A and B are shown apart, each in its own frame.
Chain A
Amino acid sequence: MSERRHAFASVRATARLIAVKDLRIERRGRVLTNQVLPFALIVMVMFAFALDSDAVLERVAPGLVWLATLFSTLFVIARSFAVEGSDGALDQLRTSGAPSAGIFLGKALALMVQLLVLVVVLVVAAVVLYRADLSWQGGVLLVTTAVAATGGLAAVGTLYGGLSAGAKGRETLLPLLVLPVVAPVLIGATRATESAFGTNGIAVGEGWPWLGLLAVFAVLFGVTGAIAFGSLLDE
């Protein structure tokens, strides 16, 4: 029993270490703020060119927020494992004896924090550019949605990022693997955000059930990832 508790504590400690390390690298490297966020914003502007109508934009704003998030997520995942690729960092992690579940959760957590920042910026962009409305209750729903959705995206991203890390052609492989898997997140998060924005007169209350889908997704892939990540790492 105490051994199990010890293992659990070790997973938690590893997760914290890895998450802090990744976020520190991000703070110093500023790839998210200097490259990914500008990319996400230019995508939002491009959507406006493509759709070319204020009314349409207002109606599809929630979907565009999450599409832009998905596209940008691919870059953040790639970045998260590019960091491990240089100087053989991933090999050293493998040989360090740190529990793989801890490595998975740590990297997922760092990803999730970055994605949350991304979503906040994109929501603000939607309010400014697409005239999305956000009430107080809608804000609560949106924050909860963002946490659950980015949790799921981070878990899937870490899992598939680890799978394709170091492989040839991973830049093109990652979207092919990740996008079909995260379709439920796109569906759930977009519907919940529609309620939060009150798009098409949808009430805020109608958004909450979609959170169930997002939460189930995040938990399922979080647990699976923690279990499966080890067998992907020790190759």
Chain B
Amino acid sequence: MTPTSERNVTGTSFTRGLGIVTVLGIGLLIVLGLFVSPADVNQGESVRIMYAHVPGAWLAYLAFIVTGVSSAAYLWNRTRSLTWDRIAGASAEVGVLFMGISLVTGSLWGRITWGTYWTWDARLTTTAFLFVTYVGYLAVRGLGGSHHQRARRSAVLALLAVLEIPLVHFSVRLWNTLHQEASVAGRGTDVTMDGLMLFSLFLGVIVFTLMYVWLVLHRQRALALQDMVEDFGLDAALAARRAEEVV
């Protein structure tokens, strides 16, 4: 079976449209975030990092939730399908990427605003654990074996992460309250946001979500093609070789 040239692309008219909207949205976000929106009274220009940081973090959490739900869908007998497994995998990949971005931008912002790259705040520490956990999840996906082996293994792991993360968060909070003052950022202070700043933040969340859907759709199809290559690759190669000999 040789895939036709049409099936070798991961785009459809829907994803193409989505991609265009996403790119335009990113452009608008850059203009609004970097130039049009005002600097913050307290944070100054560094507040602009937030337009990438907050949507990035939101998206990573969304991605990991999608991974958990798709993993459960795969494990449930009535909805068992490798498509769920690929969605879980694609979502985790994108989630790890955005969690990485959000950790880096967050620590840069912290350095400017708090004077330190890192504090042992429960939320920060849990986020770091989340990051490492899903890096491990991706490593497990790469272990090999049959597709269903990979799917089952990684689905169990994804559900274990759902159990692990609240426990880690809870214990870090316990540890933290005993050992350290609560985090530095103006907690408890009355935060009012400029309308344009709020709009930019919302726009960021929407644009990042569109980008997430776009990336996951493509990635999931790429993973499907990859599985197909593994399944049929050898047969196809042999058939092609034989066809050459005949000619």
Contacts and interface: CB of A to CB of B under 8 A. Distances in A.
Interface string B127-155: 00100110110011001111011001100
B135 to A, nearest CB: 7
Given A164-B140, A173-B136, A231 B156 contact: yes
Contacts of B135: 176
A-B complex: 5 closest residue pairs judged by Cβ atoms? A184-B171, A167-B143, A176-B136, A177-B136, A235-B149
A220 interface: yes
Question: Chain A interface: which size bin?
Answer: 20 to 34
A159 B153 CA distance: 11
Contacts, number: 75
Interface in A182-235: 183-184, 187-188, 191, 213, 216-217, 220-221, 224, 228, 231-232, 235
16 contacts: A159-B160, A168-B143, A168-B144, A173-B139, A173-B143, A176-B136, A177-B140, A180-B133, A180-B168, A181-B160, A183-B171, A224-B163, A232-B153, A235-B145, A235-B146, A235-B149
Contacts of B182: none
Question: Chain B interface: which size bin?
Answer: 20 to 34
Nearest to B159: A228
Contact of A228 (B136, B144, B146, B160): B160
A43 interface: no
Given A163-B156, A167-B145, A180-B129, 12 more contacts: A164-B140, A173-B139, A173-B143, A176-B132, A177-B136, A180-B136, A180-B164, A181-B160, A183-B171, A184-B171, A213-B171, A220-B167
A232 B171 contact: no
Nearest to B167: A184
B172 interface: yes
B118 interface: no
A231 B75 contact: yes
Interface of A: 159, 163-164, 167-169, 173, 176-177, 180-181, 183-184, 187-188, 191, 213, 216-217, 220-221, 224, 228, 231-232, 235
B232 interface: no
Contact of A173 (B140, B148, B163): B140
B21 interface: no
Contact of B152 (A184, A191, A231): A231
